[in-house]
Structure 1
Amino acid sequence: MGTMLDCTDADGLTVGQVSARLGVTVRALHHWDEIGLARPSLRTAAGYRLYTAGDLERLHRVVVYRELGLALDRIQSILDESTADVLGALRAQRTQVAERLERLQQLGAGLDRMIDAHERGLLLSAEQQAAIFGPQWNPDRHAQARQRYGGTTQWQQYAERSAARGPEEWQAVADAVADLERALADAVDAGVTPGSPEANQLVERHREVFASYFPLSRQMQVCLGRTFEADPGFAAHYDGIRAGLATWLRQSIDASARAHGIDPDTATWQ
């Protein structure tokens, strides 16, 4: 905050001198003058403002209250109204400051969580992951995914969603994935043909479920279908659910894409 200042200049101080002494801008001094908050008592013959010792005392109080966060109109009432409840105004301001501090702390915690999500992907302990995704789940999977996809828009979208999810929300995602995989296995067992209404419905359901991680276009889904079949890890996962499921799912995704005017052979990640 500012300090008490003596004005020993017999003719007063100029705006520039007051600005330097109080650490406020000339523009602010002009504004305070215009609104009647802190007006200079003197003027030179040429019309330039000159501030007296009394003016400086009022300006000092303005600076103090402004640094405490009070609005200019509230400061003016404190300075000009003999009945102004100064203590009440200060207490009200203290309450507002405490509320802002709490909001800032919440914002800081949210930022920390978002940073962790971008760095780690999944904000669950190894024990929580095993309980939700099963004992076969590899807790290092997300670190590997970040190393591979960390610079992509989809990883950023995934991290933003992950930051807002706790164990219950992730359990709902895991349940949706498990239900989908059971339905896919049942379709293979029932001999559902790729491109049939039943298969197309499952492809739509697949896209909806995977969109819980990041927005998934039909072209992106085609690219995922290729990965499910070609990548040894994904292929082993789907074929472990039901023999031939990786290829069936890729074929079904391709057939659905064609029905929507997309050539699977030229589809790109967009």
Structure 2
Amino acid sequence: MVDPELDDGRTVGSTAELLGVTVRTLHHWDKIGLASPSVRTTAGYRRYTDADLQRLHRIVAYRETGLGLDAIRAVLDDATTEIGATLREQRAQLAERIHDLQQLDERLERMTEAHEHGILLSDEEQSATFGPNWDPRGSGQARVLWGDFPQWAQFAERSASRTREQWRSVSEAMSTLQRDLGDALDQGMVAGSPEANALVERHREVFSNLFPLTRQMQVCLGRMFESDQGFAAYYDGIRAGLASWFRQIIDEAARAHGIDPDTATWQCPTGSREPARPR
């Protein structure tokens, strides 16, 4: 059957519907001279001829391959353009984009898993990295305790890109610090002394590998190390009385920086207030 509308050409609206594009798109292509209606009716309306439609179909086909409008114009208008070479170049660019998107997807997957699970190591890898006494369930428990805090998001963001070797380095730095804390307690190091304050500052630096730790936040951690049964048992297992002594040297170091440990609150580096202490 002959389409009666083709007698005088197709209207812009009909052509847009036929091609599956918008009228605005056709107007744009007309404006830039990529594809324009060839016929003007006696009433002054512009119409697309069959030849115009053939060109439009080709434009749509090449646009669906991802070619830009300038490249499409070259394919259609420049007799010297090698279409195969143009399409091969487009495929090469597409392959590069696919590679980039795959990498992005992998990063998103790791970030998602880090927010949900914390440390992105298997139970066996965690035991090998953090020692036989490490409980791999601790990361999940930490999420329950800290998941509503911005520090969990900061921890997850760092965890997403941290390798096993980097985790081992963090673990070794913390273990060395804890041994030095025990030795300092044995030596009778006095809270508030330069040496004790240096240990406190070192703890803040090492701990900040997990998330940024302000001095007020460190005071809150010191309280928790002493009052929480699990933390207290851990530190007292290194040296008897270490949990309380550790809290004391943190408090004295805070006083040296004008912070009253009795009123210290869990406070982000940006100054936004969080609950008074981690629970």
Structure 2 partner of 1:138 = 135
Aligned residues: 265
Name the amino acid aligned to 2:192.
G
Structure 1 stretches of 4+ with a deviation exceeding 2 A read: 43-49
Q: How far does the alpha carbon of each residue in 1:140-161 deviate from its partner, in whole angstroms, 9 at most, with x for none?
A: 1112111222222111111111
| Residue 93 (structure 1) aligned to one of 62, 71, 90 | 90
Q: Which stretches in structure 2 are left out of the alignment for 5+ residues? A: 268-279
Structure 1 partner of 2:194 = 197
Cα deviation, residue 8, structure 1: 5.0
> In the alignment, is residue 125 of structure 1 matched against residue 122 of structure 2?
yes
> In the alignment, is residue 210 of structure 1 matched against residue 210 of structure 2?
no
Name the amino acid aligned to 1:246.
A
Structure 1 partner of 2:246 = 249
Structure-2 change in CA distance of 1:48 and 1:216 (3 Å): farther
Structure 1 partner of 2:277 = none
| Residue 238 (structure 1) aligned to one of 232, 235, 239 | 235
CA RMSD of aligned residues (A): 1.5
Cα deviation, residue 48, structure 1: 3.5
Name the amino acid aligned to 1:207.
R
SS of structure 2 residue aligned to 1:267: coil
Distance in 1 between the 2:187 and 2:39 partners?
Answer: 96
> In the alignment, is residue 25 of structure 1 matched against residue 35 of structure 2?
no
SS of structure 1 residue aligned to 2:81: coil
Structure 2 partner of 1:50 = 47
Name the amino acid aligned to 1:43.
R
Structure 2 partner of 1:3 = none
| Residue 56 (structure 2) aligned to one of 50, 56, 59 | 59
Cα deviation, residue 177, structure 1: 0.3
Cα deviation, residue 49, structure 1: 2.7
TM-score (norm 1): 0.94
Distance in 2 between the 1:218 and 1:28 partners?
Answer: 59
> In the alignment, is residue 74 of structure 1 matched against residue 71 of structure 2?
yes
Is the deviation greater in 157-166 or in 229-238?
Answer: 157-166
Distance in 2 between the 1:150 and 1:11 partners?
Answer: 67
Identity of aligned residues (%): 62
Distance in 2 between the 1:161 and 1:197 partners?
Answer: 31
Contact 1:7–1:56 (CA under 8 A) maintained in structure 2:
no
SS of structure 1 residue aligned to 2:85: helix
Cα deviation, residue 44, structure 1: 3.6
TM-score (norm 2): 0.91
Cα deviation, residue 206, structure 1: 0.5
Cα deviation, residue 225, structure 1: 0.6
Structure-2 change in CA distance of 1:262 and 1:49 (3 Å): farther
| Residue 12 (structure 2) aligned to one of 9, 15, 20 | 15
SS of structure 1 residue aligned to 2:67: coil
Q: Which stretches in structure 1 are left out of the alignment for 5+ residues? A: 1-5
Distance in 2 between the 1:206 and 1:173 partners?
Answer: 12
> In the alignment, is residue 185 of structure 1 matched against residue 182 of structure 2?
yes
- Within 5 Å, give how 1:212-231 maps onto structure 2: 212-231=209-228
Cα deviation, residue 246, structure 1: 1.1
